[in-house]
Amino acid sequence: MFTGIVEELGRVSALVLEPGSARLSVHADTVLGGVTHGASIAVNGVCLTVVQNDTDGFTVDVMPETLRLSSLGALHVGSAVNSSARCRRPDAWEAMSSKATSTQWAP
């Protein structure tokens, strides 16, 4: 699950077009907390699976249809991307929900 809140503005550090897919590397640090191989990260709103990570970024594979139908197809090295890691705590949604319902609407 994702909150929809952008955690970090990352930068594309590599984009390699391969037969049948592309490999996208993003320089980031905030979203990397607890991220391992197989984790989900949203890049410009597209949920992608981490295939490699290190101390200064992560790499994901992107399928051709995703490149064609999303903003990811227009990326190039140096492009800024919105990055968000999945919710790490089970109570994250509860906390967001309580904030959203704690304010009263006044006509």
pLDDT in tens, 7-43: 789 999 999 988 888 999 999 988 777 778 888 888 9
The pLDDT value recorded for residue 71 is: 93
The pLDDT value recorded for residue 64 is: 92
The arrangement of secondary structure in 8-87, i.e. its CATH architecture, is: Beta Barrel (2.40)
Distance from C-alpha of 65 to C-alpha of 51, rounded to nearest angstrom: 19
Q: What is the mean pLDDT of residues 48-77?
A: 92
Domain boundaries, the chain: 8-87
Do the Cβ atoms of 40 and 47 come closer than 8 Å?
Answer: yes
The pLDDT value recorded for residue 97 is: 52
Q: What is the mean pLDDT of residues 72-101?
A: 71
**Tell me, what DSSP letter sits at residue 104?**
P
